Amino acid sequence: MPILSSRGAGSAKGFGLTAGGIPPYDINFLVIAGGGGGAGPNHGGGGGAGGFRTSTQTVKGGTVITVSVGDGGAASTAGTPGVDSFISGSGLTTITSAGGGRGGGSTGTSADNGDAGGSGGGGGFNGTGAAGNTPSTSPSQGNAGGAAYYGAPSYAGGGGGGANATGGAASAGGGGSGGSGSASSITGPSVTYAGGGGGGVFAGGSVGPGGSGGGANGGGLSTPGGDGETNKGSGGGGTGGGPSGGAGGKGVIILSMPSANFSGTVTGSPLESTSGGNKILQFNGSGSYTA
């Protein structure tokens, strides 16, 4: 006779037994996409954070949940967008978080707007910041980037949007700040993810600081933008005149479920931990979990 999960035989009748005599159970998901790269070489904008999405879904025993974690945008002069992250499986609602938008950059001849994404990239060389939450989700997965400032003494790029706030606009005082990220306690302690990258500054003034949640600081006339934090989906910093904007941080996908229901069948070598009565799987790359 099969051993039932903590819902017990009485509740199993209501939900219906599935593969191996296992009743359905709930899994909490955190899905964060790769952050956008910052841009340069002249007053480049910060990269937008990857989309930040959560979901709680009921799964049946035997369901294979496929996990794909998006890379951050590569370090470059033009800025590179982040890559989407998603979870999917039979009977589940697919959850896709959009990669962060690249920061806008310029060779010094025209405005360059940031690109839209999970959160939008900041503008470069008098360009505007781009929209976040693209494509649109409810709740919103991210925010817009800030505008650049084309004028003495700073000539600075705007900050990339974060999961919790719009990126700051650049000003005469320097580069725009990256938007702040959002906190999650899915692993137990509260951790902030998906901060936007700060804008670069070409001349006087301060570089834009990265947003909380791993967003990178912008760079100056001769320094590159910083790299967004890996596995937080944070944006890379723009640069004022250095070699290139910084890379966006790779995304992450985290699953939390009752330890009593954990099947032990995984691929992709996720990091495993426990918090209270829950089993935690942190996927830093692609893989799967079989319920």
C-alpha torsion sign, points 184, 188, 190, 193: negative
To the nearest whole number, what is the mean pLDDT of the chain?
Answer: 91
User: Quick check: 1 pLDDT over 70?
Assistant: no
Residue 165 lies in a domain: yes
Task: Give the separation between CA 163 and CA 142, rounded to whole angstroms.
Answer: 4
User: Quick check: 253 pLDDT over 50?
Assistant: yes
User: Quick check: 224 pLDDT over 50?
Assistant: yes
Residue 258 lies in a domain: no
Number of domains in the chain: 1
Q: Are the C-beta atoms of residues 57 and 94 closer than 8 Å to each other?
A: no
Q: Are the C-beta atoms of residues 65 and 257 closer than 8 Å to each other?
A: no
User: Quick check: 105 pLDDT over 90?
Assistant: no
Residue 48 lies in a domain: yes
Residue 67 lies in a domain: no
At residue 21, the pLDDT reads: 63
Q: What is the pLDDT of residues 262-281, one digit of tens each?
A: 999 999 999 999 999 999 99
Domain encompassing residue 166:
35-53+73-184+193-253
Residue 77 lies in a domain: yes
At residue 110, the pLDDT reads: 60
Residue 40 lies in a domain: yes
**Predicted confidence band of residue 4 (pLDDT cuts 50, 70, 90):** very low
User: Quick check: 242 pLDDT over 90?
Assistant: no
User: Quick check: 183 pLDDT over 90?
Assistant: yes
Share of the chain above pLDDT 70, in %: 91
Q: What is the pLDDT of residues 57-104, one digit of tens each?
A: 999 999 999 999 999 999 998 899 999 999 999 999 999 999 999 999
At residue 278, the pLDDT reads: 98
At residue 20, the pLDDT reads: 55
User: Quick check: 248 pLDDT over 50?
Assistant: yes
Q: What is the pLDDT of residues 115-171, one digit of tens each?
A: 999 999 999 988 999 999 999 999 999 999 999 999 999 999 999 999 999 999 999
User: Quick check: 195 pLDDT over 50?
Assistant: yes
Residue 68 lies in a domain: no
At residue 14, the pLDDT reads: 36
| 46-50: average pLDDT | 98
Residue 9 lies in a domain: no
At residue 107, the pLDDT reads: 60
User: Quick check: 6 pLDDT over 60?
Assistant: no
Question: What's this model's pTM, rounded to 2 decimal places?
Answer: 0.91
Task: Give the separation between CA 146 and CA 103, rounded to whole angstroms.
Answer: 10
Q: Are the C-beta atoms of residues 286 and 70 closer than 8 Å to each other?
A: no
At residue 41, the pLDDT reads: 84
Q: Are the C-beta atoms of residues 101 and 16 closer than 8 Å to each other?
A: no
Higher pLDDT, 20 or 168: 168
Q: 8 exposed, middle or buried (CB, 10 Å; 0-12, 13-18, 19+)?
A: exposed
